[in-house]
Amino acid sequence: MPKKAAAQHAVNNYDAESAERPAGERWVTQHNALVRAGHGLTLSEKRLVAMAASKLNSYKPRKVGDMPTTRISADEYADEFGVDRRTAYEALKDASKQLYSRSVTFYEIAHKRRGKPLEPTVVTMRWVGQVHYQKGEGWVELYWWPKLLPYLTGLRKQFTSYQLQQASALRSIYSWRLLELLKRFEGEDGSGWAEYTIEDFATAMDASEKQRANFAFIRRRIIEPAVKELQEKDNWKIEWEPIKAGRRVAKVRFLFQKDDQLRLGL
């Protein structure tokens, strides 16, 4: 485990259920399989899920039958994401309506059959088993899906951590997802490089069928706007290139440098 990742992970090693961390000290930690997965979330839903995840103790394993619930208030949401309280109320209300139907999509390596490799197994699971929204009081309570918890808690290796505050000013779900994909390979000096097959990248970005069919759409609608927002709002220096196999784009490669001393600006 890289020293930087271990240090970030240690930040989340506390009893989150009994001690609330200040906004600037909240970290989102998730297994790398979840980083690569398709999340199927809108920006407001991603904000809600990430904020809830930042309240979990990512280091502490859960006991069998221990299913945590996480509550997010409109005031917390407003403070974290720099919106007014009315906007926060509406965001929580809308997200709570849709989040129960949202799912995470993983691709697992399948066994061979008669000596021939099979296509990857598609695994789909919910984010939550229940969502409670309290009208008039402005809070949402998430009941995490049990099968998802191993990707968020009890993590000792193969995980990615980042400060929630790093993503709080982002206005694009693509920018947020690219941040996670890059943070997975960030070194101690804030630099690194990441390479993904176009299939894996499209899955992580929840690219549409139209976008998947033509790389030009992925470039214009996803990569270029996301790179621009991370550079402008979080002081990333990012260079990227498509890697071709013949005439087809097979992979995307990112070279990046991040200065963690500078805060995300609006």
Q: What pLDDT digit, counting tens, does each position of 193-249 carry? A: 999 999 999 999 999 999 999 999 999 999 999 999 999 998 899 999 999 999 999
pLDDT in tens, 46-76: 999 999 999 999 998 887 778 889 999 999 9
Q: What's the token pair of residue 161?
A: 């951590």
Please give the residue that has the higher pLDDT: either 105 or 22. 105
Q: In the prediction, which pLDDT does 256 show? A: 97
Buried b (16+ CB within 10 A) or exposed e, 21-35: eeeeebbbbbbbbbb
Between the two ends of the chain, the Cα-to-Cα distance in Å is 33
The domains of the chain are located at 169-266
pLDDT in tens, 165-183: 999 999 999 999 999 999 9
Residue 107: pLDDT band with limits 50, 70, 90: confident
Q: In the prediction, which pLDDT does 265 show? A: 40
Residue 90: which H helix or E strand, with range?
A: helix 85-99
Please give the residue that has the higher pLDDT: either 1 or 215. 215
Q: Find the angle CA(220)-CA(163)-CA(2) to the nearest 5 degrees.
A: 95
- Which residues on adjacent β-strands are paired with residue 133? 140
Q: Please say if the pLDDT value at position 2 is more than 80.
A: no
Cα 122 to chain centroid, rounded: 19
Work out the mean pLDDT of the chain and round it to a whole number: 88
d(CA 208, CA 202): 8
Residue 71: which H helix or E strand, with range?
A: strand 69-73
Q: Please say if the pLDDT value at position 43 is more than 60.
A: yes
Q: In the prediction, which pLDDT does 260 show? A: 59
d(CA 41, CA 47): 9
d(CA 42, CA 49): 10
| Own/partner pairs, 242-250, CB within 8 angstroms, 24+ separation | 242/215, 243/195, 249/198, 249/215, 250/197, 250/198
Q: Which of 31, 17, 4, 14 is nearest to 180 (CA)?
A: 31
Name the strands in the sheet holding 236-245, side by side, starting at the edge strand that comes first in the sequence: 191-197, 248-258, 236-245
Q: Please say if the pLDDT value at position 264 is more than 50.
A: no
CATH architecture observed for domain 169-266: Orthogonal Bundle (1.10)
Q: Which residues contact 62 (CB under 8 A, 6 or more apart)?
A: 68, 149, 153, 154
Q: In the prediction, which pLDDT does 18 show? A: 39
Residue 266: pLDDT band with limits 50, 70, 90: very low
Residue 262: pLDDT band with limits 50, 70, 90: very low
Q: In the prediction, which pLDDT does 3 show? A: 46
Q: Which of 17, 96, 95 is nearest to 58 (CA)?
A: 17
